[in-house]
């Protein structure tokens, strides 16, 4: 079995005063993805990331009725 590690960092952008995210895979030094600095705080960005993950990676079998998405 192959396993991948994904790390998401929240970073302050001093020019704009906003926060952005960088996503790293398997300990690489270069991010595979970077957002624009569009978040007011590290907490706001973390909440957005967690909401996205919960929506796309439910903690139950995917072929059952899911009231959160109306199916």
* Beta strands across the sheet bearing 33-34: 6-12, 19-25, 33-34
What are the residue boundaries of the structural domains of the chain, listed by start?
6-56
What global pTM score does this model have?
0.74
Q: 10-45: per-residue pLDDT in tens? A: 999 999 999 999 999 999 999 999 999 999 999 999
Ranking 19-23, 44-48, 53-57, 59-63 by mean pLDDT, the lowest is 59-63
Three-class DSSP category at 10: strand
pLDDT greater at residue 50 or residue 65: 50
Q: Is the pLDDT of residue 55 over 70?
A: yes
């Amino acid at each position: 079995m192959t396993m991948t590690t994904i790390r998401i960092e929240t970073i302050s952008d001093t020019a704009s005063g906003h926060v952005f995210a960088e996503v790293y895979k398997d300990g690489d030094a270069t991010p595979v993805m970077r957002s624009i600095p569009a978040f007011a705080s590290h907490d706001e960005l973390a909440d957005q990331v967690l909401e996205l993950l919960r929506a796309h990676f439910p903690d139950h079998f995917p072929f059952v009725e899911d009231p959160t998405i109306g199916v």
